[in-house]
Structure 1
Amino acid sequence: MEKLKYISMLSAVITQITGIIFLFINIKVAIGLFIVYFLSLLLLLITIIKLRIDEKKEDDQNDYRDY
């Protein structure tokens, strides 16, 4: 899960920079790159939410406040 987070972060950064460069070269390619950028951001958001939910479940299982 951590690898997916880092891959989607790297993909978001690279496609955003490349998309800005391609705005001056070819608008159709730039639009495609921005679509990939938004998809990688969405994947990153889903991954982070899933990691937080898993951490919360783990914290709930290891709750020793009753003792």
Structure 2
Amino acid sequence: MLHIGTTEIKLVNHDQVTFSWSTMMLRRISIQQPAHSSVTSDSQLHKASIDAEECEYVPYPTSSIKPRESLQ
């Protein structure tokens, strides 16, 4: 579990990542990974970064993921 202030990101595995924040915040965190991060592998963080680029995550706990094309 990676805690940033009052927000947290739960990395379940390489295929299922649950976000409770905006993709904009995710991009910032994925670029500037804290040294004390409990993320077990860079590949997990990289996967999260790729998902943020390709998808729009609606606010938790809604699980729907919309393609970026739907926003245009």
Q: TM-score range by the shorter chain?
A: 0.3 to 0.5
Q: Which has the higher contact order (CA 8 A, sep 6+)?
A: 1
Q: Which has the larger radius of gyration?
A: 1
The structure with the greater share of residues assigned to strand is 2
Provide the TM-score with structure 1 as the length reference.
Answer: 0.42
